[in-house]
């Protein structure tokens, strides 16, 4: 089993009533709520935590792309990835991902990802995304009906640009380029590609047809995710596609402490902040044309495992700490309890790539560092056996080699 360190790059100093008073934390979020100097402090904290995770045995450091939001201040994740590529030793650098439909031309993505692969020594995971409706339609003005066509054309251009040995012309609907000849080319002959999704059947087809890794990036936990994750595996099996668990990546908020009582004391305020400070105006969440009819039918037909009342209370920060845990929004407690819960999650949902959210909301750096240390030292080593019978072609071979060598060196030093 592999572990990927992820945080949303949340702004950590929002007013107490921010989530109750703003129209939306996305698209038209008031910039007056943020101090640029504090944002710089937050950025440096996240980078320090990711560098620490590299030393503590994580398999990759994961960044995403969002725009005009206090939830994830990473409009260009490649900028942060370049810092990490140059200042870390072992973990892969995962972009999960670049919103291909927003780039004109998307050959820029091919160039930047190839640059990151060379800078990191062949440690890049290339996540590519359709983009949220907020990012795509409202922040960047892409007509929703065009988003998927733009994405697929861009994906073809990017993946071809990495491999073609000679300059070539590309004559697409949205991109017309006489010369495509990127410098540099990636070190990896086959860069692992991940595509996150929220349950659309079209995404499942792309992932299965190309043997990509599917990332279900939910922050609502196991109970909410189970119908979608199980649906993906059932669909995958029915089409005869690859059932390797390493083709599934899943997001989970983790809160590790020396005792269950300490976990509640240390993390509860940050959990409430994380969920209640992120309202999204309904008109931004589902513009006509963004979802296809088959996907909408599939979504409407899925089992609802958490009630609307529970979801509403979770979004407002009104659940107790252990209710968040019981419903799967978080996995909290001692390293022993966290290990057991993660093992159950990964085995029941067939997850080979766990995206661990070790910082959430306005959590202080000291507690986040403690979370990294406890999970890295006492949980990760004990869960390496999960799905170990399957080969992993969706994490770079170079980062797998380096992480394994670093773990062996640590074990050797500890037994001397």
223 C-beta neighbours (distance < 10 Å), count: 15
Confidence bin at 225 (pLDDT 50/70/90):
confident
Q: Is 175 helix (H, G, I), strand (E, B) or coil?
A: coil
What is the phi/psi pair of residue 357, to 5°? -95, 100
Is residue 33 within 8 Å of 21, Cβ to Cβ? no
- Choose among 219, 165, 176: nearest CA to 196: 219
Of the given ranges (9-18, 165-174, 198-207), which has the lowest mean pLDDT? 198-207
- Choose among 12, 11, 9, 89: nearest CA to 47: 9
Q: Given a cut of 90, is residue 191 above it in pLDDT?
A: yes
pTM, 2 dp: 0.95
- Choose among 208, 312, 151: nearest CA to 159: 151
* Mean pLDDT calculated for residue range 216-220: 84
Residue holding tokens 């037909």?
301
Calculate the CA 121 to chain-centre distance.
Answer: 22
pLDDT score recorded for residue 304: 66
DSSP per-residue string spanning 321-342: HHHHHHTTSEEEESHHHHHHHH
User: Helices 365-378 and 260-276 meet at what angle, rounded to 10?
Assistant: 120
Confidence bin at 47 (pLDDT 50/70/90):
very high
Is residue 256 within 8 Å of 371, Cβ to Cβ? yes
* Mean pLDDT calculated for residue range 284-295: 82
Peptide bond connecting 395 to the previous residue in cis, omega within 30 degrees of 0 = no
Q: Given a cut of 90, is residue 290 above it in pLDDT?
A: no
CA dihedral 312, 313, 315, 320 (to 10 degrees): -160
> Which letter does DSSP use for residue 186 in this model?
P
Alpha helices in 186-316 (DSSP H): 201-210, 221-238, 260-276, 282-285, 293-301, 308-315
pLDDT score recorded for residue 303: 61
pLDDT score recorded for residue 198: 76
> Which letter does DSSP use for residue 69 in this model?
B
Q: What structural domains does the chain harbor?
A: 2-415 (3.20.20.30)
Peptide bond connecting 105 to the previous residue in cis, omega within 30 degrees of 0 = yes
Tens digits of per-residue pLDDT, 169-190?
999 999 999 999 999 999 999 9
Q: How many CA atoms lie within 13 A of 283 on its CB side?
A: 5
pLDDT score recorded for residue 243: 98
């Amino acid at each position: 089993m592999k572990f990927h360190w992820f945080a949303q790059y949340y702004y950590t100093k929002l007013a107490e009533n921010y989530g109750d008073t703003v129209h939306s934390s996305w698209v038209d979020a008031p910039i007056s709520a943020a101090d640029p100097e504090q944002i710089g402090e937050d950025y440096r904290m996240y980078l320090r935590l990711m560098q620490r995770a590299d030393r503590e045995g994580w398999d990759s450091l994961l960044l995403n792309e969002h725009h005009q939001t206090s939830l994830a201040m990473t409009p260009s994740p490649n900028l942060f990835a370049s810092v990490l590529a140059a200042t870390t030793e072992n973990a892969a650098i995962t972009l999960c991902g670049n919103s291909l439909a927003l780039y004109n031309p998307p050959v820029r993505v091919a160039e930047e990802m190839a640059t990151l692969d060379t800078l990191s020594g062949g440690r890049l995971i290339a996540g590519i995304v359709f983009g949220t409706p907020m990012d795509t339609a409202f922040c960047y003005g892409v007509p929703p009906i065009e988003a998927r066509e733009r994405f697929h054309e861009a994906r073809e251009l990017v993946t071809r640009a990495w491999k073609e040995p000679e300059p070539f012309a590309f004559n697409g609907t949205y991109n017309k380029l006489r010369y495509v000849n990127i410098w540099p080319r990636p070190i990896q002959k086959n860069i692992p590609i991940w595509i996150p999704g929220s349950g659309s059947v079209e995404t499942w087809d792309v992932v299965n047809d190309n043997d990509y890794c599917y990332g279900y990036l939910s922050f609502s936990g196991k109970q909410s995710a189970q119908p979608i994750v199980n649906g993906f595996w059932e669909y995958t099996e029915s089409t005869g596609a690859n059932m390797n668990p390493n083709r599934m990546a899943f997001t989970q908020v983790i809160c590790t402490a020396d005792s269950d009582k300490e976990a509640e004391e240390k993390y509860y305020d940050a959990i409430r902040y994380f969920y209640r400070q992120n309202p999204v105006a309904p008109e931004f969440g589902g513009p006509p044309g963004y979802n296809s009819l088959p996907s909408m039918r599939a979504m409407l037909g899925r089992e609802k495992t958490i009630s609307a009342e529970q979801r509403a209370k979770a979004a407002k920060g009104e659940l107790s700490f252990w209710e968040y845990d019981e419903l799967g929004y978080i996995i909290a407690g001692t390293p022993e309890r966290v290990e057991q819960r993660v093992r159950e999650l990964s085995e029941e949902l067939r997850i080979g790539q766990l995206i661990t959210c070790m910082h959430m909301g306005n959590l202080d750096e000291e507690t986040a560092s403690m979370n990294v240390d406890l999970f890295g030292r006492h949980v990760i080593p004990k869960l390496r056996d999960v799905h170990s019978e399957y080969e992993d072609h969706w994490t770079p071979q170079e980062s797998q080699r380096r992480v394994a060598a670093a773990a062996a060196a640590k074990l050797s030093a500890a037994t001397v």
